[in-house]
Amino acid sequence: MCLQVSEQIQEHEQEAVRREQMSGYKRMRRQHQKQLIALENRLKAEMDEHKLRLQKEVETQANNTYVELERLAKKQAAQLDKETKASAAEEKRIQQQILVQQKKELTTFLDTQKKQYRLCRERMKEEMNEDSDTPKEEKQERLSRHKETMQRSQAEEEAQLLNQQRLVYERSCRALKRRSLIKKHEFEQEQMREARHNMNHHKECLKHILLIL
């Protein structure tokens, strides 16, 4: 009888120990779960904060990109305008030089024609004065015909010179215009390369930020 009671007491004590162990295990589990939940909440808060910071960086980078591209566009527009005006001024200057040179050539040509006309007229008068057999009216008629021939010949030579000058001027203007267009095209291509490089740089920055998100 005493042995049976002793066994019951022992079983009771063992059961109490098991209940205490189970209770301690449950407390440990609850405490561990609380710690896990707290850790998860902290990590989630940190991730949310990090994500928000990166989103702000994306917005800032996008705004910076817009501002930079706007600044670049204005700078390039001003540069192109300056380059266009400089090319137009250079074209006008060269055209003016050509016109001044051609005016000098024409003046020299007309002066030479006048001298030749006077010399020929004087020589013909001298020849006529030496010719005493020819009537005065006939001499006057010959002089008039010679004058008309000289004037017509000189007018044709002048027209030919003016036509040559016109062709030279037009050809020079076309060459200047072609050179200006080529220069403008090359300048615009350089600006496009600069804009693409700038855009690619900002794209890489955005790509780097987005990869972190």
Under a CB-based contact definition with an 8 Å cutoff, are residues 194 and 186 in contact? Answer: no
- Backbone angle region of 18, left / alpha / beta, with phi > 0 → left and psi within -120 to 50 → alpha: alpha
Tell me if the pTM is above 0.85: no
- Over the chain (213 residues), what is each successive 10-residue block's mean pLDDT? 64 73 80 88 87 82 83 87 90 92 94 89 78 75 83 91 93 90 89 84 72 61
Rounded to whole angstroms, how far apart are CA atoms 126 and 137? 16
Q: According to the model, what pLDDT value does residue 7 have? A: 67
Q: Which of 154, 176, 152 is nearest to 90 (CA)?
A: 176
Axis-axis angle for helices 2-130, 136-212 (nearest 10)? 170
Q: According to the model, what pLDDT value does residue 100 have? A: 95
Q: According to the model, what pLDDT value does residue 150 have? A: 86
